[in-house]
Amino acid sequence: MPPSATSNLGYTPPDGGWGWAVVFGSFISIGFSYAFPKSLTIYYKEIQEYFSVSYSEIAWVSSIMLAAMYAGGPVSSILVNRYGSRPVVMIGGLMVGAGMIISSFGATIIHLYMCVGVIGGFGLAFNLQPSLTIIGTYFQVKRPMANGLAMAGSPVFLFTLAPLNQFLFDNFGWRGSFLILGGFVLNCCVAGSLMRPIRGKGPVKAVTSPNGKKAGCTDRVNAFIDLSLFKHRGYLIYLVGNVVMFFGFFAPVVFLAPYAKHLQIDEYSAAFLLSIFALVDMFARPLTGVIANTKWVRPRIQYFFSFSVAYNGVCHLLCPLASGYMGLVMYAVFFGVAFGMVCALLFEVLMDLVGAQRFSSAVGLATIVECAPVLLGPPISGALVDIFMDYKYMYYACGVMMLVPGIFLFVMNFYNYRWLEQEEKLRKKDVVERDAEEKLKDDDDDSTNEDKTEPV
């Protein structure tokens, strides 16, 4: 099996030291990026009544925020490649904080769309992608473990922000809460300050072609974001699998509590299922990182990711067979493990494919491609519930949408590894033949020189 992509950084990552402070900063930034949009749903009912808007209109706040977070990936990649992770994360924290503070004075729902959705969403994009990128500059051997610890920020922050938002809502209302949250999210700036560059980078130089002339548009774009990744076979396999996967990835979480209520389970017990899920997810992510870092799993990490995706699908397919509350508790536990495994490995396998140097561009391009399924997955799943008036068909559909890409990734990675081995053998063969030709040529030259120097 061929080795994973090397770091190509021009130095050996320290795999520790200040890198653990960077992991802590990434833990905070990633936690806010993924948990913040979900935690705001606590305020929706009061905002809906205040502005006299429909359920769909208020739901667009989180949808726009998530869309902006994913769509901002390429912009974030360009800024990280140009200026580094530290200033981008700090600017992102300022943007989210400013968006929340300004939205607390909003007079219409449109103000929330723009401030919370657009400004806040792009701010979260500037927090997420640089936090993932900088880990690869500090870690090589321990990178899966570091990624697993950083990705654990999402369930930890969701577990913390939910009761905090409820407390703020009960005491200050939605406007006062948004004002306080605007100050609270400025901690992303503190997290960004921890992300000091491991070595200085000069500014991006003017791009020229090999003959010295000014480069074309494509060369200029490639100087900031690497579009040649779309020719990378492993990257394309990853993208295809993820696009299909995300159609069924988030919907089971969104509909877990409503499904429990549909089965005549009281609302407090139904809400507790999400707490069980979040608690298991919280521990599953770092544990997955530790397992992925072992010598038995690290060389086969693409297969480990494929298994985790398929494992999610199996959980969803079996969910409708769960009987009673204890059956749903068991589903929440196994689903929490499966969900945590995918989240811990999602970006680690991408870095394994393309290397740390190209990771910034890779994750930026991936997020904008994945934007559509992330947004459309839950509404399509909800439409299935409306059509069949039963949640089990939604879980069956999500199970298939996870199981199929899991199998696809496993099979295609198997063939990709074989193709890489064949290409490596051909490359070595060409090198040997070239060296033999050069040696033969040198021997001929030496013989000619000896003939010329022989005395008459």
Cβ distance 235 to 229 under 8 Å? Answer: yes
**pLDDT exceeds 80 at position 212:** no
- Give the pLDDT confidence score for residue 447 in this predicted structure: 65
Cβ distance 257 to 270 under 8 Å? Answer: yes
Quote the mean pLDDT of the chain.
84
Residues in a beta bridge with 214: 208
Per-residue pLDDT tens digits for 219-277: 555 556 778 888 889 999 999 999 999 998 888 887 888 888 888 888 778 878 888 88
- Give the pLDDT confidence score for residue 386 in this predicted structure: 80
**pLDDT exceeds 80 at position 455:** no
- Give the pLDDT confidence score for residue 398 in this predicted structure: 93
Rounded to two decimals, the pTM is: 0.76
Say whether 225-447 and 12-196 share the same fold: yes
Q: Which residues are CB-neighbours of 74 under 8 A, at least 6 positions away? A: 225, 364, 365, 367, 368
- Give the pLDDT confidence score for residue 214 in this predicted structure: 54
Half-sphere exposure of 75 (CA within 13 A, CB side): 16
- Give the pLDDT confidence score for residue 217 in this predicted structure: 56
Q: Which residues are CB-neighbours of 10 under 8 A, at least 6 positions away? A: none
- Give the pLDDT confidence score for residue 14 in this predicted structure: 85
Q: Which residue would you say has higher pLDDT here, 356 or 451?
A: 356
Q: With cut-offs at 50, 70 and 90, classify the pLDDT of residue 202.
A: very low
- Residue from 222, 274, 295, 24 nearest 138 by CA: 24
Q: For residue 328, count other CB atoms closer than 10 A to its CB.
A: 23
Q: Residue range 352-377: average pLDDT?
A: 83
Spatial separation of the C-alpha atoms in residues 139 and 13, rounded to whole Å: 5
Q: Virtual CA dihedral for 201, 205, 209, 210, nearest 10 degrees?
A: -60
- Give the pLDDT confidence score for residue 186 in this predicted structure: 93
Architecture of domain 225-447: Up-down Bundle (1.20)
Cβ distance 132 to 26 under 8 Å? Answer: yes
**pLDDT exceeds 60 at position 350:** yes
**pLDDT exceeds 60 at position 123:** yes
**CATH number belonging to the domain at 12-196, selected among 1.20.1250.20, 3.40.50.720, 1.10.760.10, 3.30.450.20:** 1.20.1250.20
Listed by start position, the domains of the chain span 12-196, 225-447
Spatial separation of the C-alpha atoms in residues 437 and 306, rounded to whole Å: 44
Phi, psi values for residue 146, rounded to 5°: -65, -40
Q: Residue range 100-104: average pLDDT?
A: 93
For the chain, the three-class secondary structure string (H helix, E strand, C coil) is CCCCCCCCCCCCCCCCCCHHHHHHHHHHHHHHHHHHHHHHHHHHHHHHHHHCCCHHHHHHHHHHHHHHHHHCHHHHHHHHHHHCHHHHHHHHHHHHHHHHHHHCCCCCHHHHHHHHHHHHHHHHHHHHHHHHHHHHHHCCCCHHHHHHHHHCHHHHHHHHHHHHHHHHHHHHHHHHHHHHHHHHCCHHHHHHHCCCCCCCCCCCCCCECCCCCECCHHHHHHCCCCHHHHHCHHHHHHHHHHHHHHCCCCHHHHCHHHHHHHCCCCHHHHHHHHHHHHHHHHHHHHHHHHHHCCCCCHHHHHHHHHHHHHHHHHHHHHHHHCCHHHHHHHHHHHHHHHHHHHHHHHHHHHHHHHCHHHHHHHHHHHHHHHHHHHHHHHHHHHHHHHHHCCCHHHHHHHHHHHHHHHHHHHHHHHHHHHHHHHHHHHHHHHHHHHHHHHHHHHHHHHHHHHHHHCCC
CA-to-CA dists, residue 340 to 27, 251, 270, 291, 336, angstroms = 15, 15, 20, 13, 6
Per-residue pLDDT tens digits for 400-445: 999 999 999 999 999 988 888 888 888 888 887 787 777 777 666 6
CA 378 to chain centre: 18
Per-residue pLDDT tens digits for 272-298: 888 888 889 889 988 998 898 888 888
Q: Residue range 96-111: average pLDDT?
A: 92
- Give the pLDDT confidence score for residue 204 in this predicted structure: 47
Identify the top-confidence range among 39-43, 336-340, 451-455.
Answer: 336-340
